[in-house]
Homo-oligomer: A and B are copies of this chain.
């Protein structure tokens, strides 16, 4: 595998959408519809994008991505890199692409003077959880995650 990580460009839109639909299926969540797909790409490459994308390539083929943005810890008074989605295509797992994406995120977080990286993971996704544990990340067991849908 000829692994390479780089920032996404607008010309990657098709590949990004293909991969996010794969992720939704894998997570058994509703994938973005046509309107959401258009808005996602338009937001991603807008002047003040609300999130950023890095892609993993094997040669010329996009095989994975990470979507992230910066949140903020009021107690540390430092930004946090929040990892919204990370995904490696099924057949391309086990070659270090996920690790390479995480290392790139850690390097971005350090440049931005973040105190932490944070994310959530589905409780049945044992492979992902093992991967995060190997990275030295900690499950914050005492925190419950709440959502109010509008």
Q: How large is the interface on A (under 10, 10 to 19, 20 to 34, 35 or more residues)?
A: 35 or more
A117 with B76: CB separation less than 8 A: no
Contacts of A116 in B (CB 8 A): 147-150
Given A74-B40, A75-B32, verify A147-B117 contact (CB < 8 Å).
yes
Contact assessment for B72 and A51 in the assembled complex, using a CB-CB cutoff below 8 Å: yes
B32, B72, B82: the one contacting A77 at CB < 8 Å is B32
Q: Does A3 contact B (CB under 8 A)?
A: no
A20-B74, A24-B75, A75-B29 known; A120+B148 contact, CB < 8 A: no
The count of identical subunits is 2
Chain B's nearest CB lies how many Å from the CB of A100?
16
A73-B84, A106-B150 known; 18 new pairs, CB 8 Å cut-off, are: A20-B75, A30-B75, A32-B75, A37-B77, A43-B72, A71-B82, A74-B85, A114-B150, A115-B149, A119-B146, A120-B143, A121-B143, A122-B142, A122-B143, A123-B144, A132-B148, A136-B148, A137-B148
Question: Which A residues form the contact surface with B (CB < 8 A)?
Answer: 20, 24, 29-32, 35-37, 39-40, 43, 50-51, 67, 69-79, 82, 84-85, 106, 109-110, 114-124, 129, 132, 135-150
